[in-house]
Structure formats: C-alpha cells, structure tokens
C-alpha cells in the first residue's frame, strides 16, 4: 500500500501523541458590585413596643368574669358618646325646669292654684347670630325670654324677659330706689312677668344685667302644655298665649314704662 504523500516542510503527526490545544481564557472579569462607602447595615424588622403590653392585656381580659367583660364592652361604645353628651347641653340645647312665680302666668300657668307644677322649657344655648358656638354674638330683642346667671347669686340660673336694650330709659318699679334707669352699653333690663313686684327678683333689685351673664334663650315649653314661644309679638301687645284665647300676659303698663332709644350710645373703644 503506497504511503500518503506529504508536501515538503509539513510536519508529520505522530499517532502515538495527541496535541492538546490551549484553552482560550477571556481576560474580561465579571462586573463586581461597588463596595459600600461604610459598613453595611441590614434593615432589621422592629417589633412594636406595645405588642407585648396589648397581648398581656388581652390575656388578662380573657380571664375576667363574663359580666365584667360585658360591662367593659358597653363602656367601649359609651366612651365616644361622653364628649358629645358634655358638649350638647353646654353649647347647643338644654332642658330646664322653671321654678317659682316670677314668670306667671306666662310660664307656670297653674302655679296660683297648685304652687307645685313647674314648666319644662327648651333652651337654646347656641349663640344666636353666629354659625359657630365659639363666636359669642348676642343679638337680643325686647320680649325675649332668656336664661342668665343671677348677679345676686352667680351659681343660680334665672329666667326673665328682656324689657329694655342699651340706650332705653326704663321707668322702674319697686324695690328700685331710682324712678328711672338708662340701660348702659352691653347690658339689658330684665323683669319677670308677675304683676306683683314682690314675686320676682329682677333688674329692679340688682340693676341692668351684663350680656356676658346671659346663657341662653327659651324656645318652647315642653310640658305640661307644649307650645312655642314667639317673642316677636311682644312690642305689638299680642301675647304668645293670647292668640289661643287666654288673657293678655304682656301687660301694656310694662311696655309703657320703656322709652326706646332714649340715649344714643356709641360703642366704646378699647385701647
């Protein structure tokens, strides 16, 4: 068998040896993440501070007797209602009882016969003339029935009718020592509806009442005979109850004792 011919200068491979080709190594290295500037701080999950305390309270609550747990559940719902219950009668509405004969026969109609029955009235504590209860704007008119802190006893809430406004001249009655009185600025003249001056303690005893002492306005009588009080007819001589056939409760002599706007008062300037 003839041997294969190889060109001159070409090395003849030896069958007993194998030539291994060198493995090519890529000189480019994989990208390494940038080293942090300082020591790395791993975020740790913080455990709530109140969790152990709440867990302990729940465990103790579960060991309480069943009546105690029911009572606590009831208090849980009543607690949010407590601020509302405190705010409403002080700034919105309040129910009061009228004691004594000072406002008869307009209020406590049967006081002369029984002397025991008391009218239950609805009083608006919301400052009339303003939107919010924190802006104290008193827009009072003659004939309004209002509640106020008595100057003779500030802890006592009294109820009387506004007879005069600032600048009015009032012809007083007993026991006032002056024959007439000018109502000063920021004050009102209050009197009871009782015809006998000895049955009412009003401005004829302690003088004009400051507006800062006025707490509310009577809107209606809730019992024993329910009715709305309309003060707008006081100047015209029509009583609120007179329209229903009763006698005239607003005596003409009371209106005759009031000289409206006798003195022009200017608003004082505070430095």
| Residue with token string 């800062």 | 212
Q: What is d(CA 144, CA 162) in angstroms, rounded to the nearest whole number? A: 5
Can you tell me the distance from the alpha carbon of 185 to that of 264, in angstroms, rounded to the nearest whole number?
A: 10
- Length reported for the chain: 271
160 among known catalytic residues:
yes
Nearest to 203 by CA among 253, 127, 257: 257
Beta bridge partners of 160: 146
Residues sharing a CB contact under 8 Å with residue 155, sequence separation 6 or more, in sequence order: 149
3, 51, 62, 102: which is the annotated catalytic residue?
102
Q: What is the DSSP letter of 21?
A: P
Given 3, 160, 244, 246, which residue is catalytic? 160
The verdict on whether 260 is a catalytic residue reads no
Q: CB of 105 within 8 A of CB of 192?
A: no
Q: Which residues are catalytic?
A: 102, 160
């Amino acid at each position: 068998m003839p041997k294969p011919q190889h060109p001159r200068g070409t090395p003849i491979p030896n069958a007993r040896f194998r030539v291994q080709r060198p493995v090519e190594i890529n000189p480019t290295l994989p990208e390494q993440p940038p080293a942090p500037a300082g020591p790395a701080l791993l975020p740790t999950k913080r455990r709530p501070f109140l969790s152990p305390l709440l867990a302990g309270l729940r465990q103790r609550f579960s060991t309480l007797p069943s009546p105690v747990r029911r009572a606590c559940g009831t208090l849980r719902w009543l607690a949010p209602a407590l601020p509302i219950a405190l705010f409403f009668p002080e700034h919105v509405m309040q129910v009061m009882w009228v004691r004594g004969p000072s406002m008869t026969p307009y209020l406590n109609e049967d006081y002369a016969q029984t002397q025991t029955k008391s009218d239950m009235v609805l009083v608006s504590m919301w400052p009339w003339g303003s939107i919010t209860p924190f802006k104290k704007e008193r827009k009072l008119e003659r004939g309004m029935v209002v509640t106020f802190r008595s100057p003779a006893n500030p802890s006592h809430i009294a109820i009387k009718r506004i007879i005069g406004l600032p600048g009015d001249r009032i012809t007083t009655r007993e026991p006032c020592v002056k024959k007439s009185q000018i109502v000063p600025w920021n004050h009102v003249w209050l009197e009871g509806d009782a015809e006998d001056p000895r049955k009412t303690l009003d401005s004829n005893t302690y003088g004009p009442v400051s507006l800062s002492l006025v707490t509310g306005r009577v809107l209606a009588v809730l019992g024993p005979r329910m009715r709305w009080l309309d003060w707008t007819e006081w100047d015209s001589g029509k009583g609120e109850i007179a329209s229903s056939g009763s006698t005239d409760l607003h005596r003409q002599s009371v209106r005759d004792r009031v000289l409206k706007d006798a003195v022009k008062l200017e608003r004082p300037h505070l430095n």
